Chains A and B, each alone.
Chain A
């Protein structure tokens, strides 16, 4: 089509008739409504809004009208065209929504299917419990102290008031490093870290030391030659047995729950004087099983208390050997076995499960104990 027809000047052109225009509009509207999907709607759009559509033709004819008629015709056509455009847009929204809905429905998957990326691994529970203990004490302002596993005999024994031929030294079932007289052992407890702490730090000393220790026991359900302990040491002015009890009570609550407490029973350790065994109130029955055959408790054997570790006021001989001014400072220390703790706390029944490195054992714990 080329330029406006200047030869010819009609007042009215057929497509511009009001009726024709209404018809054109109604046809478009119904075509849009009837379009069942986006493709049909697109086809209807070409027919009713495209270049060759009646409304486009009509629009083009406006120029052919005498100027007097143009305004009125333009208004009519504009109104009709807007109605058609609106109807299209409206229908498009509806059909697009329908289309999306259909598409999403077909894309449904079974989200319970497994996937191939590796699942979360697991920490060993001994590591987890060591870290938990460390966190309890760092929250109190203590430091986490460490030491080597092959240790000087002097630090493992002599500095801790284990005299060379004292039965207490023989009771520790020590691994000795070759050759005889090397003065080196596999540390039998974490206590040499106490000695190291006192030799290198100045009081006040508040340290917790979790670590691996060694005794020449054969592996069985309740013994292992390699095991883990955690040991605490405080050296400060005015430290008493009462502070030891307070610390152990706090420790018990942190590890086993509110309302529990520690109990001390006198005992003997060379490096503490007075010395005591630590029992903790049974966190399962809280003592209700004692003398109550109807409610037996497996965790504490219906004793109400669970043996947990050893503790005491640091023997002044130990302080002296490690260069602490005994006139001014006193201290306390405590220690417990972490395997044993896991056994009664987490229901581990066989020591061997903890030391054999079977992944199934760690995996039950994941990242939590």
Chain B
């Protein structure tokens, strides 16, 4: 809502030194969101000039300029060049003189142009900061509006400040000058001259016939009729200027007046050309198949839920949203039927959304308009049409008003103090409520406090320590009736808020509450932090990526058509139609992040991300929209949770390029599959899990270089080198590698408590074992076999050599392990160690046909 300060001053006698900025600060304190304050940058001299002569001078560039002499109240005429043609000799215009600065910081000086020295210029509406008046030329004043030499800044109030206020949904009344003026009056403690305080001249009946079929959606419908208007009359400059300053373009007197009254009072108005109406106006819901051409010349298919204004011809408007083209006021209109109605906010909001049509009217109705305004607003429009367009107001008036009157809410006098924790005296609180427009009376003896007054039975109340608010008077009940323009005031806390904001949020004390003892981070939260810290220690950098993905990513990853990672949760309104899915694998987006980094020259990359992935459930159920008047049952709450997809936390890693660069120490080393596997092992160890690892084939990994990690038989993720095609598809260096693990699953598998085991102080016995095996036997399995066979004397085992080559023949490999034996209670005898070693080898021999390698 754009609010010119000069307009506001009409209803509140603000002190002369109040500026847009200082008023803005006050309104912010009162709870309005003042987004910007436009202060006029304009400085004079800017004067009224009378056109004495002009010459049309065609130019080479095809334009014709006018070389004009102007009377600006001095002895000598002022000579200027002007590009516009919408004026004649004798017209009064606005002339800016050298030395002035126009809005936008345009400094004016005498300058040579088109072969003349132009001493200033004649101004258009836009140049004066008044907005586009639609004339495509300069401003021509009305005869007698000023005399040559008059200060045009003063004459046209050009240095007005304009406040732009973002009106929150609870403050619909502030979508009007009247509403903002009320807040300004309260903020400065000044009386409000209410522009709606008009004398009603209507008779209350006999107006244009109206029938309201849906009285829940339309609770008031008022019409007045004005006849004999001059539709071609131009709106006066003051009205045009106000519309422009408020951000609306002047169109014609009929439209301008309805817009003006809407801005002034907040009541949307619709005007009909009476000659184009046929039969009764009926307010009803649409029937399917009905259509309407709206004022913006769009044909709208109507929905059965749309509330319509109709006549015998059919729909003539979508109530509260936009009127129809067939009955609109035109240049030939003489008789106008004025509609001022009250519609249900939800009905209007739905229609507005359904037709993607947000109008000035719908924005106001959605936030609810003062239901007592329609008669006054219709009166105001009629008065203005009579005054400005020569119309005659008929006394006949239609008033269909079923809107209920506001009901009182019963609150304790100390409720605002209890909500704020500030010692707000009851008397002060009730005065604040009156300032807001509420009617405040002591409640009847048998009155009961309204519900939802929080904490009335709470055991401690900080504010009571203050002397200024005693408990006895505080507990007394008050009946508070909100003013008609504040339908948002429903609950005790709504009234408390009004009191507290006028009391001043700044005056509320600051008290740190003491929580009962907490238990710190959860096990899961702690382990997640440690994983991240360990990865950073290992040289990886944490990055983020959006979770949005699509087929292009899955194709690039080489996922088969039936891969279950292609079954995704999809968005109805994604940012991009190419990426309608929520990621099921972190790599689909992390690889894109890697791609971006590589593309920017970071080719040696080691990045990680932790993020939720989204796994649709086998059976998709809708999450119910439950009632809110009480807590849903446990099973209802459970049905909400059950309807959601599984959303486990994953950790992803991508390694590209060199792990070790080439340097003075020698040749560098590329990051490879083993680094990826090792990082996965690192993550598992951080959370205290010893995973089982085996070779598997899975996209996007290299079929021979992918490790599957599992814990207790459950697969928790994969690591290894990426498939060459995947590297290519994501523009990554060849032999890039990646990890993806289900971090939640790993964390859950971690130990609850680690129990210490005493360790032996007896000497260690070391034995090496070298085995020749088939090449496809996994080292991990051999190690497991040796471990199993060695028995409990085995302290540790480590693979230290891998050999393939001629000495052992094709299809074979040799693995060498270092075994350490130790007993808890004695020094081991050589024979014991030899036996244990032999037992270890025996299992490997039996299980894999291993042959001991000698020498």
| A→B interface (CB under 8 Å) | 113-124, 126-127, 131, 134, 138, 140-144, 148-155, 158-159, 161, 163-168, 170-171, 175-184, 186, 199, 204, 206, 216, 218, 225-226, 234, 236-243, 245-247, 249-250, 261, 263-268, 270, 273-276, 313-317, 319-323, 326-331, 354-360, 362-363, 367
- Cβ-defined contact, B31 with A225, below 8 A: no
- Which chain B positions have C-beta within 8 A of A138? 518, 520-521
What's the minimum C-beta distance from A75 to chain B, rounded to whole angstroms? Answer: 49
CB-contacts of B624-675 with A (<8 A): 624-626, 628-631, 637, 640-641, 643-645, 647, 659-661, 663-665, 668
- Cβ-defined contact, A225 with B575, below 8 A: yes
What's the minimum C-beta distance from A364 to chain B, rounded to whole angstroms? Answer: 11
**Beyond A165-B346, A167-B169, is A148–B644 a contact (Cβ under 8 Å)?**
yes
- Cβ-defined contact, B661 with A116, below 8 A: yes
- Determine which of B573, B622, B660 lies in contact with A182 in the assembled complex, contact meaning CB atoms within 8 Å: B622
Can you give 19 contacting A-B residue pairs, CB < 8 Å? A114-B664, A120-B536, A134-B521, A148-B644, A149-B547, A176-B571, A178-B571, A186-B571, A225-B575, A226-B546, A234-B515, A240-B422, A241-B421, A246-B511, A261-B510, A273-B491, A317-B452, A323-B631, A358-B600
Q: Which residue of B lies closest to A128 (CB)?
A: B542
**Beyond A114-B663, A165-B346, A320-B629, is A121–B493 a contact (Cβ under 8 Å)?**
no
Q: How many angstroms from the CA of A180 to the CA of B506 in the assembled complex?
A: 45
Q: Is B311 an interface residue (CB 8 A)?
A: no
What's the minimum C-beta distance from B544 to chain A, rounded to whole angstroms? Answer: 6
Q: How many angstroms from the CA of A285 to the CA of B630 in the assembled complex?
A: 48
Mask for B459-483, Cβ within 8 A of A = 1, else 0?
1111100000000000000000000
Q: How many angstroms from the CA of A328 to the CA of B454 in the assembled complex?
A: 7
- Determine which of A121, A150, A178, A246 lies in contact with B647 in the assembled complex, contact meaning CB atoms within 8 Å: A150
- Which chain B positions have C-beta within 8 A of A180? 572
- Determine which of B519, B600, B614 lies in contact with A143 in the assembled complex, contact meaning CB atoms within 8 Å: B519
Q: Is B565 an interface residue (CB 8 A)?
A: no
- Determine which of B168, B451, B606, B644 lies in contact with A150 in the assembled complex, contact meaning CB atoms within 8 Å: B644
- Which chain B positions have C-beta within 8 A of A218? 575
Q: Is B236 an interface residue (CB 8 A)?
A: no
Q: Is B839 an interface residue (CB 8 A)?
A: no
What's the minimum C-beta distance from A127 to chain B, rounded to whole angstroms? Answer: 6
**Beyond A206-B515, A274-B497, A359-B543, is A178–B625 a contact (Cβ under 8 Å)?**
no
- Cβ-defined contact, A121 with B542, below 8 A: yes
Q: How many angstroms from the CA of A267 to the CA of B463 in the assembled complex?
A: 23
- Which chain A positions have C-beta within 8 A of B641? 152
**Beyond A246-B511, A274-B501, A316-B493, is A322–B631 a contact (Cβ under 8 Å)?**
yes
- Which chain B positions have C-beta within 8 A of A243? 421, 511-513
CB-contacts of B580-631 with A (<8 A): 580, 582, 593, 596-597, 600, 602, 605-609, 612, 614, 620, 622-626, 628-631
Q: Is B145 an interface residue (CB 8 A)?
A: no
- Cβ-defined contact, A206 with B366, below 8 A: no
- Cβ-defined contact, B505 with A265, below 8 A: yes
**Beyond A121-B606, A177-B569, A183-B624, is A249–B458 a contact (Cβ under 8 Å)?**
no
- Cβ-defined contact, A239 with B455, below 8 A: yes
Nearest 7 pairs between A and B by C-beta?
A118-B539, A323-B631, A240-B421, A242-B421, A266-B31, A183-B623, A274-B497
What's the minimum C-beta distance from B823 to chain A, rounded to whole angstroms? Answer: 37
Q: Is B384 an interface residue (CB 8 A)?
A: no
Q: How many angstroms from the CA of A250 to the CA of B522 in the assembled complex?
A: 23
Q: How many angstroms from the CA of A178 to the CA of B577 in the assembled complex?
A: 13
- Determine which of A245, A267, A315, A326 lies in contact with B511 in the assembled complex, contact meaning CB atoms within 8 Å: A245
Given contacts A184-B623, A357-B543, 9 further A-B contacts (CB under 8 A): A123-B542, A199-B631, A237-B459, A250-B512, A276-B505, A316-B493, A321-B628, A321-B630, A359-B605
Q: Which residue of B lies closest to A146 (CB)?
A: B525
Interface of A is mostly: mixed
- Which chain B positions have C-beta within 8 A of A115? 665
Looking at B419, B614, B640, the one whose CB has the most chain A CB atoms below 10 A away is B640
- Cβ-defined contact, A204 with B572, below 8 A: no
- Cβ-defined contact, B518 with A242, below 8 A: no
Q: Is B80 an interface residue (CB 8 A)?
A: no
Q: Is B170 an interface residue (CB 8 A)?
A: yes
Looking at A184, A276, A315, A328, the one whose CB has the most chain B CB atoms below 10 A away is A184
- Which chain B positions have C-beta within 8 A of A165? 345-346, 349-350
What's the minimum C-beta distance from B24 to chain A, rounded to whole angstroms? Answer: 12
Q: Which residue of A lies closest to B514 (CB)?
A: A141
Q: Is B537 an interface residue (CB 8 A)?
A: yes
Q: How many angstroms from the CA of A238 to the CA of B685 in the assembled complex?
A: 46
- Determine which of A143, A246, A267, A329 lies in contact with B513 in the assembled complex, contact meaning CB atoms within 8 Å: A246
Looking at A177, A323, A330, the one whose CB has the most chain B CB atoms below 10 A away is A177
- Which chain B positions have C-beta within 8 A of A158? 625-626, 628
Q: How many angstroms from the CA of A137 to the CA of B521 in the assembled complex?
A: 10
- Determine which of B419, B539, B543 lies in contact with A241 in the assembled complex, contact meaning CB atoms within 8 Å: B419
- Cβ-defined contact, A170 with B353, below 8 A: yes
- Which chain B positions have C-beta within 8 A of A126? 544
**Beyond A242-B421, A322-B631, A359-B541, is A216–B575 a contact (Cβ under 8 Å)?**
yes
- Cβ-defined contact, B493 with A273, below 8 A: yes
Q: How many angstroms from the CA of A99 to the CA of B419 in the assembled complex?
A: 84
What's the minimum C-beta distance from A291 to chain B, rounded to whole angstroms? Answer: 11
**Beyond A242-B420, A267-B31, is A131–B529 a contact (Cβ under 8 Å)?**
yes
- Which chain A positions have C-beta within 8 A of B625? 153-154, 158, 164, 183
| B→A interface (CB under 8 Å) | 28-31, 33, 168-171, 345-346, 349-350, 353, 366-367, 418-422, 451-463, 491-494, 496-497, 500-501, 505-506, 508-522, 525, 529, 532-533, 535-547, 569-575, 580, 582, 593, 596-597, 600, 602, 605-609, 612, 614, 620, 622-626, 628-631, 637, 640-641, 643-645, 647, 659-661, 663-665, 668
Q: How many angstroms from the CA of A181 to the CA of B625 in the assembled complex?
A: 10
Q: How many angstroms from the CA of A180 to the CA of B572 in the assembled complex?
A: 7
- Cβ-defined contact, A268 with B517, below 8 A: no
Q: How many angstroms from the CA of A265 to the CA of B647 in the assembled complex?
A: 37
Q: How many angstroms from the CA of A165 to the CA of B493 in the assembled complex?
A: 22
What's the minimum C-beta distance from B345 to chain A, rounded to whole angstroms? Answer: 8
Q: How many angstroms from the CA of A276 to the CA of B511 in the assembled complex?
A: 17
- Cβ-defined contact, A268 with B637, below 8 A: no
Q: Which residue of A lies closest to B353 (CB)?
A: A170
**Beyond A184-B623, A363-B541, is A328–B663 a contact (Cβ under 8 Å)?**
no
- Determine which of B491, B501, B532 lies in contact with A317 in the assembled complex, contact meaning CB atoms within 8 Å: B491
- Which chain B positions have C-beta within 8 A of A168? 169
- Cβ-defined contact, A206 with B463, below 8 A: no
- Cβ-defined contact, A238 with B460, below 8 A: yes
- Determine which of B492, B509, B541 lies in contact with A242 in the assembled complex, contact meaning CB atoms within 8 Å: B509
- Which chain B positions have C-beta within 8 A of A123? 532, 536, 542
- Which chain A positions have C-beta within 8 A of B366? 167
Q: How many angstroms from the CA of A359 to the CA of B497 in the assembled complex?
A: 47
- Cβ-defined contact, B543 with A124, below 8 A: yes
- Determine which of A131, A320, A358 lies in contact with B452 in the assembled complex, contact meaning CB atoms within 8 Å: A320
- Which chain A positions have C-beta within 8 A of B459? 237-238
Q: How many angstroms from the CA of A263 to the CA of B622 in the assembled complex?
A: 42
- Which chain B positions have C-beta within 8 A of A240? 418-422, 462-463, 511
Q: How many angstroms from the CA of A326 to the CA of B457 in the assembled complex?
A: 9
- Which chain B positions have C-beta within 8 A of A124? 542-544
Q: How many angstroms from the CA of A131 to the CA of B542 in the assembled complex?
A: 14
**Beyond A158-B625, A242-B509, is A144–B575 a contact (Cβ under 8 Å)?**
no
- Cβ-defined contact, B663 with A121, below 8 A: no
**Beyond A150-B614, A238-B455, A321-B628, is A316–B491 a contact (Cβ under 8 Å)?**
yes
- Cβ-defined contact, A359 with B536, below 8 A: no
- Which chain B positions have C-beta within 8 A of A246? 509-513
- Cβ-defined contact, A242 with B510, below 8 A: yes
- Which chain A positions have C-beta within 8 A of B569? 150, 177-178
**Beyond A138-B521, A243-B421, is A267–B623 a contact (Cβ under 8 Å)?**
no
Q: How many angstroms from the CA of A245 to the CA of B422 in the assembled complex?
A: 11
Q: How many angstroms from the CA of A243 to the CA of B418 in the assembled complex?
A: 12
